[in-house]
Amino acid sequence: MFLETIKSEGLSHLSYMLGDESAGVCAVVDPRRDIQIYLEIAKDCDVRISHILETHVHEDFVSGSRELAAQTGATIYAGESNERTFDHEAVKDGDTIRVGNLSLQALHTPGHTPEHVCYRVSGGKGAEAPWGVFTGDTLFCGDIGRTDLLGKEEADGMTRRLYHSLFDKLLPLGDELTIYPAHGKGSPCGGNIGDRLISTLGYERRHNPKLLADNEDEFVKNQLGSLQPAPFYYAHLKDVNTHGPRVLACVPPIPMLEPHVFQIEMGKPDTVVLDTREIEAFGGGHIQGALNIALREEFPTWAGWTLRPNQRILLVLAEEDDLETVQRHLLRIGFEKIDGYLGKGMRGWFEAGLPFDRMPEMSVHQLKGRIDSGRSDIQVLDVRSPAEWNQGHIPGALHLYAPFLPDHLHSFDRTKPIVTYCGSGYRSSIAASLLKRGGFKEVYNIPGSMKAWKAAGYRLE
């Protein structure tokens, strides 16, 4: 028997391969869209991928189930739902799936989504009794799945369903069982997922804050009071994964565009220039109207928050070698309309004599001086989450979570300078580029943002 965990950077997504080498077969649980890694592991272990298991309709990444099935001929298994429109075998509570000498029993665990199933696994040499459970987005290390994906009006009912899934289905399976969740730390699918990738039911029962509630009503109150806004792209990806993502077969090539051609392409409808360089490089010189999302660990989540499914994307890269990484991240969250990248990057743009814009920066010391002077000609905008804002913010600051900025530009005075800050400067650079794209002339980003403000010893409200 073998069990492999595959972590997808940026989305904190965890998928799994579980196989029986003696029988020459294996299963993949919750695969991502770029499937090459599963094919390579199967080849290395000398097995074929015979089963593909989905715990639920994912909303934070494009499922790779159809892609993998097209490549391998494996059968897709998923919880019963009247909404799915692609070929699969529906499983209901109690159904057992055999993979060689391994046995996976489906457990219907609604709450995160109505059709959600977990898979209790047993089998392997010396492991006839159940030893683990693939929990999907029902139970994480230190947290549970969010329950508001059907909307506010359904959140209470879904939270109560999750309570019974956890306390009546999962926890009674036995403290010794290892849990294998679909996400790790940093995923928006949970509010505060812990650092570890695996845990046990017993450890979570005793230490998971969400499982320490005395009763159902307290559980519901704790859960609904801790939820942060769900990323905008979730609704789109739910639709994509419900009807089955388009099978790519191979990664489509992205053309390199000369600066003048790039400039012409920018003028086409529904086009956004996505600049993935670091914050300081973007501030020093960028194409007017470009959106800055630096290629860091957070890139895919914030690309999902900020881009729209119908947009054509043109890329500005720090290095041409970044192209494969950027494309992989965007394909994982459903953005396929990547119509070109700027040849030679911003150097090529500058050398072509084309116009560019700048994003000035303001230190926390300069900002503190402006605030202390009592001048009212500057707007300080905190773009962190509501929970971060409530823990303390720069005196006199306004607040709007960065993803909501495009729909609320009218809330700010375009005649006054505006300064953006977040936790470290990453989200504030995104927000600053959105303001510039929206027509604000004098916009400043704060390098270091709240970390720098605290390090300087300045007061919080």
pLDDT of 20 > 80? The answer is yes
Question: What is the tens place of the pLDDT at every residue in 48-105?
Answer: 999 999 999 999 999 999 999 999 999 999 999 988 999 999 999 999 999 999 999 9
Q: Per the residue annotation, which of 26, 118, 141, 422 is the catalytic one?
A: 422
Residue spans of the domains in the chain: they are 2-233, 256-351, 364-455
Query: 364-455, which class in CATH?
Result: alpha beta
Burial category of 52 from C-beta neighbours within 10 Å (exposed 0-12, middle 13-18, buried 19 and up) = buried
pLDDT score of 63: 97
Count the helix, strand and coil residues of the chain and give each as a percent rounded to the nearest 5: 35, 25, 45
Confidence of residue 369 (pLDDT cuts 50, 70, 90): very high
What separation in angstroms does the CA of 311 have from each of 51, 304, 337, 338, 457? 35, 12, 7, 9, 43
DSSP labels for 146-192? ---TT-HHHHHHHHHHHHHIIIIIIGGG-TTPEEEESB-TT-TTSSS
Q: Do domains 256-351 and 364-455 have the same CATH topology?
A: yes
Can 422 be counted among the known catalytic residues?
yes
Q: Please answer whether residues 145 and 162 qualify as being in contact, where contact means their C-beta atoms are separated by less than 8 angstroms.
A: yes
Question: What is the tens place of the pLDDT at every residue in 112-165?
Answer: 999 999 999 999 888 889 999 999 999 999 999 999 999 999 999 999 999 999
pLDDT score of 26: 98
Q: Does domain 2-233 have CATH number 3.40.50.300?
A: no
* CATH fold for domain 256-351: Oxidized Rhodanese; domain 1 (3.40.250)
- Per-residue pLDDT, averaged over 242-263, amounts to 94
pLDDT score of 191: 76
Question: What is the tens place of the pLDDT at every residue in 210-244?
Answer: 999 999 999 999 999 988 888 889 999 999 999 99
Confidence of residue 34 (pLDDT cuts 50, 70, 90): very high
What separation in angstroms does the CA of 363 have from each of 179, 198, 320, 366? 45, 41, 31, 5
Q: Please answer whether residues 102 and 58 qualify as being in contact, where contact means their C-beta atoms are separated by less than 8 angstroms.
A: no
